[in-house]
Chain A
């Protein structure tokens, strides 16, 4: 029995060095794993940081385009970079500003690109001698010129509310033809009185979406002769808010 104990003790004694080696090895692996995890986390955080700053910079700068111009946009970009970078990382953050592009072909810059870089802090990369990595993110913003057309409201004051009587507007003649009025062109639900035919319901397409409005615009609701190109209709003007329904200003 004593012999067995002595034998076991000697075996343990012989394996003590192995355990130490295992311990050192595992500790190194654990430390490296931790360092990589921390580095990756910091790296992802810094990427988000750089992207946020780049977005803010280009969105601020693009407001200067196309006028007053590129030099003004660069100044604004640098100003917003300073506004967005906290003091404690100012020496590690850099703005690469700016590239301009004319994408709509009008001869003036309408797109701005910028890149924000940040000297990230690292544990693992330093340990293996790579030093601190630099993360950078770019952003671009474009000023799009809007082109559109408007349907401006107009109206003719009717003499009465009798559709069969053409609302008393027999005298309205365009190109030798009496103007034919249609009751669906009147603003019955909202207006207090009949103001005569017009396109004042047209803008309500986006409001109530009542089909006759759209049809009136598309000339599909028997609205021929309402008005012709170059025709002139004398109407009293009224001022109102340009809203979803032109009945309101009328």
Chain B
């Protein structure tokens, strides 16, 4: 029992930490999707507007510096400008996840980088420009 109890406790800590990691991944992923959808509507949405949208959608998990926005020219469009209707707006986000429970027991445990990238098609030409993290 003396051997088993710590193992079981440890096991449940791993499960809880893993669950929290996945929860973070889903939230970051969903926030990036929200931002990309917002950006895909085009118009005069600036990088700051889009990044704020992502941060708000993440429930406080992300900060402005964790977000990147980029525009990319696609062959489906005629113009060479990367912000025309039909081009891509790419919103990426990343967040270093520290295991909140296990890192107390094992301080050497490395952080896990939660990354996501969403590429949506611009519905109207965008007047803003990209910024923040590099999404490549």
Interface residues of A (CB under 8 A from B): 19, 23, 26-27, 30-31, 33-34, 37-38, 41-42, 44-45, 48-49, 52, 55-56, 59-60, 63, 75-76, 79-80, 83-84, 86
Contacts and interface: CB of A to CB of B under 8 A. Distances in A.
B33 A55 contact: yes
Contacts of A48: 26, 29-30
Given A27-B4, A41-B18, A84 B119 contact: yes
26 contacts: A23-B4, A26-B8, A30-B8, A31-B11, A34-B14, A34-B15, A37-B15, A37-B18, A41-B19, A42-B22, A45-B25, A48-B29, A52-B29, A55-B33, A56-B120, A59-B40, A59-B120, A59-B121, A63-B123, A80-B119, A80-B120, A83-B88, A84-B117, A84-B118, A84-B119, A86-B117
Interface of B: 1, 3-4, 7-8, 11, 14-15, 18-19, 22, 25-26, 29-30, 33, 36-37, 40, 74, 76, 85-86, 88, 117-121, 123
The A interface, classified by DSSP as helix, strand, loop or mixed, is helix
B7 A45 contact: no
A34 B119 contact: no
Contacts of B85: 63
Contacts of B74: 79
Contact of A60 (B11, B22, B121): B121
B91 to A, nearest CB: 11
Contacts of A30: 7-8, 11
A243 to B, nearest CB: 15
Nearest to A72: B76
A44 B26 contact: yes
Nearest to B22: A41
A19 B76 CA distance: 68
A179 B1 CA distance: 101
A148 B128 CA distance: 29
A41 B22 CA distance: 6
A120 to B, nearest CB: 12
A26 B5 CA distance: 10
B83 to A, nearest CB: 15
A37 B76 contact: no
B119 A83 contact: yes
Which 6 residue pairs across A and B have the least CB separation, nearest first? A60-B121, A41-B22, A83-B119, A37-B15, A52-B33, A48-B26
Nearest to A60: B121
Nearest to B4: A23
A80 to B, nearest CB: 6
A34 B76 contact: no
Given A30-B11, A56-B120, 7 more contacts: A45-B25, A48-B26, A52-B33, A59-B120, A75-B76, A79-B74, A84-B117
